[in-house]
């Protein structure tokens, strides 16, 4: 088995070069017109029950531009200011002995400068005064919001509160959306981002190899989740998303998260679990036999899914739109489903009510952009470019046969082809069986 990327798992915590965040800011600034100002807020600390709060989920755009993870941080960009020191300003929460007693150490100005590369750092209390001064010299104000195509913000966000406050106080400015600019920039990963995703992939691989050694009839899905947690946490990583550990017919629920069933002999086990390292995510799916060997029917369908995955990786090219790539994957899957006897050519040629028959067994997308968010932002209708990292995840789900099979790797698109960031994770059916024979 290849060990590409294995060196990452035993290294100290991954550290970013602050120059990377400076380059990200320069890319954004190059898109702003003269006399512009842009503001990015960190997310809120959300409350739970009683007096508790959830752990901070860092606002991805803020991290992309600064590397800062502390709550309530604000970035202000005023790139055409005559005073060079005012072109990038960071506002952080002031520390106090009481706060640090209860919450831990807070950023100092020196620490914030070292992480972000931004030299002008102030406490949050100074934001209104400085913001007002710069707004008086600004025509175009770029404000941020969560514009992911599947976002549903039922709770007002910190950005939304800030937008309302700003527009009320300064009603005559020209307000513009920052999100479309950042979506285009964030879709193209820089070298440091690719390294971070590669480390997340390496830790994810180690988690899968660990779990495969524990899979056997009678083990529970939650016991396997615990093995993943052990591997991720010991490398200072965490789950990229709620883990999907689905045995038997549970795999036919695409976002199954109960992880409470007992693995039965003869079942397949779908493992859609990955690590997040320094806010950058991996996304891996493997489907393995609980008792160590595929049945002939399971292997037949597994190979169909694997063929679609292999060809869909080859089909990833700069200049191709995600919609075209999806149609290509569905055409590949149609052929496999006909060969498997699950669909007929007449069904495919004469779909009912405009519903594509392939979606009966393959109802989701072939993949998505990956990065600071698992379903990372990217321009929805624009062609893919070199530097995009895409998941590739075909699947066939057959409730009437009691199982589903999904396979997923993460792939970097380059000008010279694709680079599979998970090519060292066993995926061929024989390799899976060989791995499980080592239990």
**Token output for 369:** 């952009």
The residue among 141, 163, 186 that closes a domain is 186
The domain that contains 273 carries what CATH number?
Answer: 3.90.230.10
Task: Name the residue range of residue 241's domain.
Answer: 188-436
Q: Kindly state whether residues 45 and 56 are assigned to the same domain.
A: yes
Average pLDDT over residues 231-245: 97
Q: Kindly state whether residues 172 and 248 are assigned to the same domain.
A: no
User: Is residue 322 situated within a structural domain?
Assistant: yes
pLDDT higher than threshold 50 for residue 227? yes
135, 127 in Cβ contact below 8 A?
no
pLDDT-above-90 percentage for the chain: 84
The confidence band for 371, taking pLDDT boundaries of 50, 70 and 90, is: very high
Of the two residues 438 and 329, the one the predictor is more confident about is: 329
Of the two residues 13 and 309, the one the predictor is more confident about is: 309
pLDDT tens, residue by residue, 281-314: 999 999 999 999 999 999 999 999 999 999 999 9
Query: Of 82-96, 209-223, 311-325, 358-372, which range is least confident?
Result: 82-96
pLDDT of residue 333: 98
pLDDT higher than threshold 50 for residue 2? no
371: closest CA among 207, 190, 210, 217?
A: 190
User: Is residue 60 situated within a structural domain?
Assistant: yes
Average pLDDT over residues 98-110: 87
User: Is residue 376 situated within a structural domain?
Assistant: yes
DSSP helix/strand/coil, 281 = strand
Q: Kindly state whether residues 409 and 278 are assigned to the same domain.
A: yes
Q: Kindly state whether residues 239 and 304 are assigned to the same domain.
A: yes
pLDDT of residue 154: 81
User: Is residue 1 situated within a structural domain?
Assistant: no
Q: Kindly state whether residues 195 and 343 are assigned to the same domain.
A: yes
DSSP codes of every residue in 94-142: PP-HHHHHHH-----HHHHHHHH---EEEEGGGHHHHHHHHHTT-SEEE
CA 184 from centre of chain: 15
Q: Kindly state whether residues 215 and 167 are assigned to the same domain.
A: no
The domain that contains 17 carries what CATH number?
Answer: 3.40.350.10
Q: Kindly state whether residues 77 and 121 are assigned to the same domain.
A: yes
The residue among 186, 208, 242 that closes a domain is 186
The residue among 140, 161, 186 that closes a domain is 186
Q: Kindly state whether residues 87 and 200 are assigned to the same domain.
A: no
Q: Kindly state whether residues 373 and 432 are assigned to the same domain.
A: yes
pLDDT of residue 13: 58
pLDDT of residue 3: 39
The confidence band for 104, taking pLDDT boundaries of 50, 70 and 90, is: confident
Q: Kindly state whether residues 128 and 196 are assigned to the same domain.
A: no
Average pLDDT of every residue of the chain = 94
pLDDT tens, residue by residue, 53-67: 888 999 999 999 999
Average pLDDT over residues 324-330: 98
The confidence band for 12, taking pLDDT boundaries of 50, 70 and 90, is: low
Highest-confidence segment of 9-13, 93-97, 172-176? 172-176
User: Is residue 335 situated within a structural domain?
Assistant: yes
The backbone torsions φ and ψ at residue 156, rounded to the nearest 5 degrees and listed phi first, read: -60, 130
Number of independent structural domains in the chain: 2
User: Is residue 89 situated within a structural domain?
Assistant: yes
């Amino acid at each position: 088995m290849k060990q590409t990327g294995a060196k990452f798992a035993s290294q100290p915590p991954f550290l970013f070069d602050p120059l990377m965040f400076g380059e990200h800011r320069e890319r954004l600034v190059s898109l702003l017109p003269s006399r512009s100002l842009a503001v990015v807020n960190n997310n809120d600390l959300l409350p739970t029950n009683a007096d508790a709060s959830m752990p901070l989920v860092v606002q991805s755009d803020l991290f992309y531009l600064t590397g800062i993870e502390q709550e309530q941080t604000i970035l202000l960009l005023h790139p055409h200011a005559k005073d060079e020191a005012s072109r990038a300003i960071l506002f952080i929460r002031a520390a106090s002995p009481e706060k640090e007693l209860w919450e831990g150490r807070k950023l100092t100005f020196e620490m914030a400068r070292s992480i972000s590369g931004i030299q002008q750092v102030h406490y949050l209390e100074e934001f209104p005064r400085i913001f007002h001064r710069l707004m008086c010299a600004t025509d175009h104000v770029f404000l941020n919001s969560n514009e992911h195509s599947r976002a549903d913000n039922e709770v007002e966000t910190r950005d939304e509160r800030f937008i309302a406050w700003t527009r009320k106080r300064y009603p005559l400015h020209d307000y513009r959306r920052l999100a479309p600019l950042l979506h285009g920039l964030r879709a193209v990963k820089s070298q440091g981002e690719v390294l971070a995703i590669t480390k997340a992939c390496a830790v994810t691989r180690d988690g899968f190899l660990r779990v495969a050694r524990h899979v056997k009839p009678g083990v529970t899905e939650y016991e396997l989740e615990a093995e993943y947690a052990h591997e991720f946490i010991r490398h200072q990583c965490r789950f990229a998303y709620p883990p999907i550990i689905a045995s038997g017919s549970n795999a036919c629920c695409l976002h199954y998260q109960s992880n409470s069933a007992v693995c039965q002999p003869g079942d397949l086990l779908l493992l859609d679990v990955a690590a997040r390292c320094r806010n950058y995510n991996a996304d891996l799916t493997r489907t393995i036999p609980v008792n160590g060997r595929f049945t002939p029917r399971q292997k037949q369908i597994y190979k169909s899914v694997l063929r679609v995955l292999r060809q869909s990786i080859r089909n990833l090219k700069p200049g191709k739109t995600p919609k075209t790539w999806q149609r290509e994957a569905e055409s590949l899957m149609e052929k496999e489903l006909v060969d498997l006897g699950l669909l007929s050519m007449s069904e495919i040629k004469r779909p009912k009510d405009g519903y594509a028959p392939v979606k009966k067994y393959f109802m989701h997308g072939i993949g998505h952009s990956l990065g600071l968010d698992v379903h990372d932002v990217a321009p929805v209708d624009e062609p893919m470019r070199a530097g995009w990292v895409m998941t590739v995840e075909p699947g066939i789900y057959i409730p009437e046969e009691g199982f589903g099979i999904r396979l997923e790797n993460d792939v970097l698109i380059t000008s010279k082809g694709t680079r599979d960031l998970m090519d060292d994770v066993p995926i061929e059916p024989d390799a899976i069986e060989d791995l499980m024979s080592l239990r």
